[in-house]
Amino acid sequence: MAIAPTQALLISHDQSILDLIRLALEGRYGIKVSTAASFQDVQKELAPSPDPRYRVVISDFALAGRQLASCRPTLARDIAYSFLAEEPPLHEELPDGTSLFEFIKLPFDSNALFTHFESRGIFAPLPTAESDQTFCRIRTTFLLSVVPLCGDIYIRLSDTKYVKLFNEGTVFDEADAKKWGEMKKQEYLYLRRYHAERYADRLAGNFRDILLAERPGSPPCTDGLAAQIAENPAVAFEAISEVSEAMGFSPRVLKLARAGVEVALVAVQKSHNLKRIMNSMARETGRYLSYHSFLAGHLACLIAAQLEWNNEATFEKLMFAALVHDFTLRGTRLADVRELKDLDNLNPKPSKVERQEFFDHSLRAAELCLRFKEIPPDVDYIVASHHEKPDGSGFPRGISGSRIALLSSVFIVAHDLSEFILDLKSAEAINKENLVSFFEKRNYLYTKDSFRKILKIVPKLKLD
Ligand SMILES: [Fe+2]
Ligand SMILES: [Fe+2]
């Protein structure tokens, strides 16, 4: 008996592509998907009679051409063929007789694939109740630090479709991180939000272990997160940010944030090597906020040290302010916006609500700080003024130099410098010449009061 033609055949020599597409199609459409490494394998399996099962064939373009032609008699006539390739193939390269040919651009993007099938009426998505609201995004490599896993772990196939990969209690090891993170390009995996509290507690425990290992005579911390933080301390901010995005800024997240700030401060004291942070940022996308926040805190502490404000309380305030100053922008498309004028570069154009959200973000983050007495004093003020400028041209309040507190001035300059450094794009560009260049470019702005004194420190900063 013929089986209903609601299936797909995937042909690729790349196992990771096969797995990703299969998961995506099965998850979204509830169809059965077969995979094969080559057209010859398909032919061997299906020959000699035509097989009515397949509605679509998806293949690496590299495997197409004659191979497809030789295989076609075994496939039904009205099949839709899709070829995966990094660049669209030339017309003369297309195999003969493909009735419905489409090209799908690599690297693989599940949303593009879904649009492709759904806009042509080939498949329709299953109704689903799950959505982004239900899940908490976690950087895949962070899962190494929470084994055995503190909840089921999912892969996200679309805004509304998630498929379980690992059960709670299983071990997620280096091989898993490599397979899903590097080979399958899944930078993030997902945990259900109701398990996020457990994850927050585990992370806080990991931060404490990292801090304990710093005590003289203590054994080194072998936790996976410790190694990632040693390589790039901005990772600590990212871990906190993910949890707070899922849970809001709760007392539990505050506990985690305090431990994370301490970890970040230890990392800053150990090394000023911003080049390594820059290098890892160049490899990764979508992490601007965590990197920029950490860098602003790092630079603020360096400036404070030069001003001889060498006390732990000052460093803690500055680093805390750095962590939370843009917190309310996380997870929005406003996360990468720096100034009010940059809002006009967003595509599509920002709504009134978005404009207001950006305009108010410093005050909203400050209000967040005021809700918790555990947050060091002054952090709210530093956060509230991080977009103010000494000439009064900043926002949201437009206050000027003499009304901006000293610690806030340090943070404003450090925040500005962090954006300048991230714009350099290359680690090699973090050098004395560019610090002097920052000094010269900001000479017109930081002219008054304490700002002048702070700006003069910038060219003297030791960044490696
Ligand atoms: Fe910022
Ligand atoms: Fe901001």
Measured between alpha carbons, how far is 336 from 227 in angstroms, rounded to an integer?
27
User: pTM of the full predicted structure?
Assistant: 0.73
CA of residue 334 to ligand 2 center, whole Å = 10
Q: Tell me which residue of 29, 32, 30, 36 sits closest to 10, measured CA to CA.
A: 36
Helix (H/G/I), strand (E/B), else coil: 155: strand
pLDDT of residue 160: 76
Which has the higher per-residue pLDDT, 287 or 94? 287
Tell which residue, 63, 60, 62, has the closest CA to residue 71.
63
CA torsion through residues 214, 457, 325, 342, sign: negative
The arrangement of strands across the sheet holding 188-192 comes to 135-139, 188-192, 153-158, 161-166
Residue 106, Cβ density class (10 Å: 0-12 exposed, 13-18 middle, ≥19 buried): middle
How far apart (Å, rounded) are the C-alpha atoms in residues 49 and 230? 60
Instruction: Please give the distance, rounded to the nearest whole angstrom, from the Cα atom of residue 56 to the centre of ligand 1.
Output: 47
**Size of the chain in residues:** 464
For 250-270, the pLDDT digits (tens) are: 889 999 999 999 999 999 888
pLDDT per residue as tens digits for the range 109-165: 777 777 777 777 777 776 655 666 788 888 898 898 888 898 999 998 877 788 899
Compute, in angstroms, the gap from residue 304 CA to the centroid of ligand 1. 18
Q: How far is the CA of 398 from the centre of ligand 1 (A)?
A: 17
CA–centroid distance, residue 338 to ligand 1 (Å): 7
- Distances in Å between the Cα of 99 and the Cα atoms of 96, 121, 416 are 9, 16, 57
Ligand 2 centroid to Cα of residue 232, in Å, is 22
Distance 400 CA to ligand 1 centre (A): 19
170 CB-contact burial (10 Å; exposed 0-12 / middle 13-18 / buried 19+)? middle
Q: Which residues contact 326 (CB under 8 A, 6 or more apart)?
A: 289, 292, 293, 335, 361, 365
pLDDT score, position 71: 58
Domains and their CATH numbers in the chain: 7-118 (3.40.50.2300), 232-460 (1.10.3210.10)
Q: What is the pLDDT of residue 451?
A: 94
Check if the beta carbon of residue 328 is closer than 8 Å to that of residue 361. Answer: yes
- The rounded Å distance from CA 248 to ligand 2 centre is 18
Dist. CA 42–CA 19, nearest whole Å: 17
Separation of alpha carbons 408 and 359, rounded Å? 18
383-405 pLDDT, tens digit each:
999 999 999 999 999 998 888 99
